[in-house]
């Protein structure tokens, strides 16, 4: 895989792994499943487990992942996680192919970071509130009323 391709894949992976680390904390690589996990968090967990390996509950996480589990909204910890994912993908072409296949199961658009909502289907988590549904062309604004 070329370096540019890896950068693109890392950009797609990092928000999922960050969401999973934020939701599961230090248990992100444990085998146990939580039924209430959203599709985004579940995919992020599978990606993290594939990239960093499955760990027993309580077993130490790789530093970059542990840091994101503690501070999922810190841009520096997320950048270090992206770097660790990039190194892993560049070092193992089979891993990179597996991760691309997992990304094919992605539930939709996701954003993660300071104040960014996580969007999966019609569920939004983060610093936002969803009110209603907008489809097709929409204009949101105010009208001047005299």
pTM of the full structure: 0.59
Domain assignment of residue 36, given as a range: 3-125
Q: Is residue 66 part of a domain?
A: yes
Give domain status of residue 141, yes or no: no
Q: What is the pLDDT along the chain (146 residues), one digit of tens a residue?
A: 555 688 888 888 888 888 888 777 767 777 555 544 567 778 888 899 999 998 887 788 899 999 988 888 888 998 999 999 999 999 999 999 998 888 887 765 544 444 555 544 444 455 444 555 555 665 555 555 54
Residue 55's DSSP bridge partners are: none
Q: Considering the domain boundaries, does residue 139 fall inside one?
A: no
Residue 113 belongs to some domain of the structure: yes
DSSP secondary structure of 91-115: H-HHHHHHHHHHHTT--S----STT
| DSSP 3-state of 139 | coil
Asked, for residue 142, whether it belongs to a domain, the answer is no
Other Cβ atoms within 10 Å of 134 Cβ, number: 10
C-beta of residue 51 within 8 angstroms of C-beta of residue 90 = no
Domain-embedded: residue 134? no
Q: How many domains does the chain have?
A: 1
Q: Is residue 143 part of a domain?
A: no
- Token output for 23: 């939701």
Q: What angle do CA 120, 29, 116 make, to 5 degrees?
A: 30
């Amino acid at each position: 895989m070329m370096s540019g391709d890896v950068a693109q894949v890392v950009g797609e992976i990092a928000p999922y792994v960050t969401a999973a680390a934020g939701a599961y904390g230090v248990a992100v690589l444990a085998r146990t499943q939580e039924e209430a996990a959203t599709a985004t968090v579940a995919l992020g967990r599978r990606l993290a487990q594939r990239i960093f390996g499955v760990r027993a509950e309580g077993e130490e996480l790789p530093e970059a992942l542990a840091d994101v589990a503690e501070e999922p909204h810190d841009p520096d910890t997320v950048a270090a996680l992206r770097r660790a994912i990039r190194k892993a993908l560049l070092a193992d072409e089979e891993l990179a192919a597996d991760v691309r296949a997992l990304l094919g199961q992605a539930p939709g658009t996701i954003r993660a970071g300071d104040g960014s909502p996580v969007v999966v289907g019609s569920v939004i988590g983060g610093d936002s509130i969803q009110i209603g549904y907008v489809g097709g062309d929409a204009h949101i604004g105010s009208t001047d009323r005299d």
